Amino acid sequence: MSTIDYKETIPNNVNLSGDRRLQRALEKWQPAFLNWWDELGPEASANHEIFLRTAIDVSPKGWAHFDMVKMPEYRWGIFLAAEEEERKIGFGQHKGENAWQEVPGEYRAELRRLIVTQGDTEPASVEQQRLLGLTCPSLYDLRSLFQINVEEGRHLWAMVYLLHAYFGRDGREEAEEMLLRHAGDEDKPRILEAFNVPTKDWLSFFMFTFFQDRDGKFQLSSLAESGFDPLSRSCRFMLTEEAHHMFVGENGLGRVVLRSAQLSAENDTLEIQKYGGIPLPMIQKWMNFHFSICLDLFGQEKSTNAANFYTMGLKGRYMENKIDDDHLLENDSFLIPEFENGKVMMNEVSALTSINERLRNDYRDDCQRGVDRWNKIISEAGIEYSLTLPHTAFNRNIGTFRNMYFTPEGKPISKEKFENQRNTWMPSAADREFVMSLMVPVTNPGEMAGWLTAPSRGIHGKDIDYEYVRLH
Ligand code: BYC
């Protein structure tokens, strides 16, 4: 069942027409979704024609189709990765049993909570990015933004399908709520903190797609291990799209870093504002902010929720089946950071309660690889400067280090000192104002804003000066 039927109102590969009740329920949700897109999706974009890829097949090869499409006409649909025959649960107390095709009654609340939390982030990101199209640095970048936005919309569909298909009335209610909470809304905010922060400038957008979408990669990978097979199959397909979002972040930041390094070399100074570039130390500030708020997305270092999700077989570890252990973890331990006697110590705790911390470590290592690549760009341009991920205790709002104050190097300091230094470590109002001043739309095909370099190649074999978005 891997081909997608595009003749349906809701394209899908889940045989939706075979379940009239479900189909009708989703067809009722669809106008609410489109309304939401119209109101809180990308601003002033409804008539643009965009070179978008659409999924036509969920197999690893050839699932994408590229065409000029208006976003409101994008075929949002429900696509699950192909079913793996006889798939077994790979961890926890049900290890070795057949994966569940229905929700196990005793884990219903936990599973729903995981799906709702995952689903909530998807429309949140679209809301956070809704004004960026007005200040794009090129048509190439504008297309990337819109591609990401429509796919996040589709990821919402993926979670809403699970809620509708497997959770009955309360699932339908949760699906409605997805469109009622809004990023940054004082009364009804999005669930996770980092999804309430506005993404106003393109440096923040590239940081978001590098750091925050990467949380998506790690969380989706852990959910792809789930014993609940429909969730696993949804997440597996979402991951193929997520990879492109992270590419946009890594590549975008690489282009900003290269431009900044070039301007620094040409003018023999890191202070390149007056040449229209973003100083490398300012990029570091953006990184300190985005990385620290994303570390919070992994939850507390010690979490009984996470231990339960694992033991129940609902959420595994990153690359669970590649890890060489018993996949039960009852007798294993793991090191987590804790603050003791005035310093950050690594303490041994149960491997089950520290599942969140383990994932956070995997995430950090993955982020570091990107930072190493940018540092190579900087040193090849002949500049002595390197970007560094801040210490895990820096600027944290969830877990052990909440309400504590540390330098980016991890040295504990007083709240007062932290507040005095805040603007030297993270974007100040003046920094944000400066970066915003560079956000002037560039919309001639092939032209780039001066604060970043052109990408090394275009999309899907097209040249860089292809008209990726026809503005109307
Ligand atoms: N903000 O036991 P703990 C993506 C709460 S991104 C606010 O550690 P747990 C995407 C927590 O709810 C991936 N609250 O929590 C990227 C709990 O509340 P209660 C999204 C937070 O459950 C870019 C309490 O603190 N997917 O896809 O182990 C663009 C105790 O915490 C936060 C997922 O996150 C926070 N950051 O861990 C588009 C996967 N952290 O019980 C999309 C699904 C914790 O006291 N979610 N709390 O009321 C999960 O697996 C878990 O919910 C979390 C939290 C890992 C997020």
Give the confidence band of 3 by pLDDT, cuts at 50, 70, 90. Answer: low
**Nearest atom within ligand 1 for CA of residue 359:** 55
Report whether 304 contacts 267 (CB < 8 A). no
- This prediction's pTM: 0.97
Output b/e per residue, 121-140; b: 16+ Cβ within 10 A. Answer: bbbbbbbbbbebbebbbbbb
Is residue 216 lining ligand 1, measured as CB closer than 6 Å?
A: yes
Mean pLDDT value across residues 301-312 = 98
Q: What was the pLDDT predicted at 60?
A: 64
Quick check: 295 pLDDT over 60? yes
User: How far, in Å, are 282, 371, 386, 438 from residue 431 at the CA level?
Assistant: 7, 21, 19, 11
Mean pLDDT value across residues 412-439 = 98
Q: What was the pLDDT predicted at 63?
A: 67
Higher per-residue pLDDT: 60 or 71? 71
**Nearest atom within ligand 1 for CA of residue 355:** 28
The share of the chain scoring above pLDDT 90, in percent, equals 93
Q: What was the pLDDT predicted at 4?
A: 67
Higher per-residue pLDDT: 7 or 77? 77
**Nearest atom within ligand 1 for CA of residue 121:** 42
Quick check: 184 pLDDT over 90? yes
Quick check: 62 pLDDT over 60? no
Give the confidence band of 84 by pLDDT, cuts at 50, 70, 90. Answer: very high
Q: For atom 54 of ligand 1, which residue has the closest CA? A: 299
How far apart are alpha carbons 201 and 437 in whole angstroms?
9
Is residue 356 lining ligand 1, measured as CB closer than 6 Å?
A: yes
Q: What was the pLDDT predicted at 1?
A: 46
Q: Is 227 exposed, middle or buried (0-12, 13-18, 19+ CB in 10 A)?
A: buried
Is residue 213 lining ligand 1, measured as CB closer than 6 Å?
A: yes
How far apart are alpha carbons 13 and 308 in whole angstroms?
32
Q: What was the pLDDT predicted at 55?
A: 81
> Poorest-confidence range of 62-71, 156-165, 213-222, 247-256?
62-71
Q: What is the pLDDT of residues 198-228, one digit of tens each?
A: 999 999 999 999 999 999 999 999 999 999 9
Is residue 127 lining ligand 1, measured as CB closer than 6 Å?
A: no
Mean pLDDT value across residues 257-276 = 98
Quick check: 239 pLDDT over 90? yes
Tell me whether strands 469-470 and 49-55 are parallel, antiparallel or unpaired.
Answer: antiparallel
Give the confidence band of 61 by pLDDT, cuts at 50, 70, 90. Answer: low
Q: What is the pLDDT of residues 330-349, one digit of tens each?
A: 999 999 999 999 999 999 99
Q: Number of H helices and number of E strands within the chain? A: 12, 5
User: How far, in Å, are 142, 281, 438, 464 from residue 445 at the CA level?
Assistant: 11, 31, 19, 8
Q: What was the pLDDT predicted at 54?
A: 87
